[in-house]
Amino acid sequence: MTPLPTPQSCQSRDAFADALVAYINEELPVVHPKSAGHIPFDRTTPLFGEGGIDSLSIIHIVSFLEAAVGATLSLQEINMRNFRTVEVISDLFWQLKKP
């Protein structure tokens, strides 16, 4: 199995989005088996409406994002509006990434 890109190594917003999609599809089902068995997500798949992402999954995704941006996300940033799709997440959080 090829290792997934680390969020810290992403040099562009598109690479960041691709790393997040890979995490959701490949690593999240390992750390949170309830999310396994879902049709693979892409950048525009609604994360909540498709039934594969639940509140515990979001905690894992937030951990991934915090590692990616090198900072703790605020409670105001962690809301369903900001986590609708990988595209929305990438638009909001790529700009927070620390070098």
Instruction: For the chain, list the domains and their CATH numbers.
Output: 7-96 (1.10.1200.10)
Q: Which carries the bigger pLDDT value, residue 10 or residue 40?
A: 40
Residue in the block written with tokens 């309830």 = 34
Q: Work out the number of other CB atoms within 10 angstroms of the CB of residue 41.
A: 22
Average pLDDT for 77-85: 91
Average pLDDT for 48-65: 86
pTM: 0.85
Query: Over the stretch 1-11, which tens digit does the pLDDT of each residue have?
Result: 455 555 566 78
